[in-house]
Structure 1
Amino acid sequence: MAFVIDRDPCEGSPSLGSMTLHPAPESVPQARRWFRKLIVPYHPRCSVDDCTLMISELVTNAILHGRSDEEWVVRVEWFREGTSLRVEVHNPGFPASVRLRRPDADEAHGRGLLLVDSIATSWHSGPSRFGGTVVSFELADAWPS
Structure 2
Amino acid sequence: MLDQRTVPSRSTITLRGVPESVSLARFRVGELLGEDHPAFDDVVLLVSEVVTNSVVHSGSSGGGTVEMTVAVCPGAVLVEVRDAGSGVSAPHVRNDPEGEGGRGMFLVDLLADRWGARDDARGFRTLWFEVSF
TM-score class, shorter-chain normalisation, is: 0.7 to 0.9
The equivalent of 1:89 in structure 2 is: 81
User: Can you list the C-alpha shifts for 1:39-59, whole angstroms capped at 9, x where unaligned?
Assistant: 22xx87432111110000000
Identity %: 32
User: Can you list the C-alpha shifts for 1:58-79, whole angstroms capped at 9, x where unaligned?
Assistant: 00001122216xx620111011
Name the CA shift for 1:66/1:118 in 2 (closer, same or farther; >3 Å).
Answer: same
Output the amino acid matched with 1:140. S
The equivalent of 2:98 in structure 1 is: 106
User: Can you list the C-alpha shifts for 1:91-120, whole angstroms capped at 9, x where unaligned?
Assistant: 011475223232433211101011011001
Output the amino acid matched with 1:62. S
| Distance (whole Å) between structure 2 residues aligned to residue 128 and residue 78 of structure 1 | 20
User: Can you list the C-alpha shifts for 1:5-42, whole angstroms capped at 9, x where unaligned?
Assistant: xxxxxxxx8451111111111111111112101222xx
Please list, as runs of the form range in 1=range in 2, the aligned pairs for 1:41-120 lying within 5 A after superposition. 45-67=37-59, 72-94=64-86, 97-120=89-112
SS in 2 for 1:123: strand
TM-score, scaled relative to structure 2: 0.80
Provide structure 1 residue ranges, at least 5 long, that are not aligned to the other structure: 1-12
Give the paired residue count. Answer: 126
Contact 2:23 2:48 survives alignment (8 Å)? yes
The equivalent of 1:29 in structure 2 is: 23
RMSD: 2.7
Contact 1:89 1:134 survives alignment (8 Å)? yes
Contact 1:122 1:139 survives alignment (8 Å)? yes
Runs ≥4 residues deviating over 4 A: 128-131
Output the amino acid matched with 2:56. L
Shift of 1:81: 4.4
TM-score, scaled relative to structure 1: 0.74
Q: Bigger shift: 48-57 or 91-100?
A: 91-100
Contact 1:16 1:39 survives alignment (8 Å)? no
Is residue 39 of structure 1 aligned with residue 39 of structure 2? no
